[in-house]
Amino acid sequence: MVDPLDPGTLALPLTFKRPRGRPRKANALTSAERARRYRARKKSLSLHVVPLAIHNEVVHARDAAQSEVKRLHAELQQLLHQLRG
């Protein structure tokens, strides 16, 4: 608001119209860049697949180790029982 008696006041535009929608980012990616990154991510995930033969070997070794642990645990319990009895 301009005071007619004061020569130092200026008329300021108090209303401004904002554009609709979300403001743009300065470093936004284009659709092509987003697609390129998506394809690279998918490709890198497909490289981490373990072959079925290796997976089966690892599972078999794990099962053998677990059965060995159970056997040793039973043997330990038997030896402790003999010491106490």
Judge whether 36 and 28 are in contact, CB under 8 Å.
Answer: no
Instruction: Report which of 81, 47, 74 is spatially closest to residue 66, judged by C-alpha positions.
Output: 74
Read off the pLDDT of residues 32-74 as tens digits, 9 standing for 90 and up: 999 999 999 998 888 778 889 999 999 999 999 999 999 999 9
In the predicted structure, residue 10 carries a pLDDT above the cut 80: no
Judge whether 2 and 10 are in contact, CB under 8 Å.
Answer: yes
Q: 0.75 cut: is pTM over it?
A: no
**Predicted pLDDT at 1:** 61
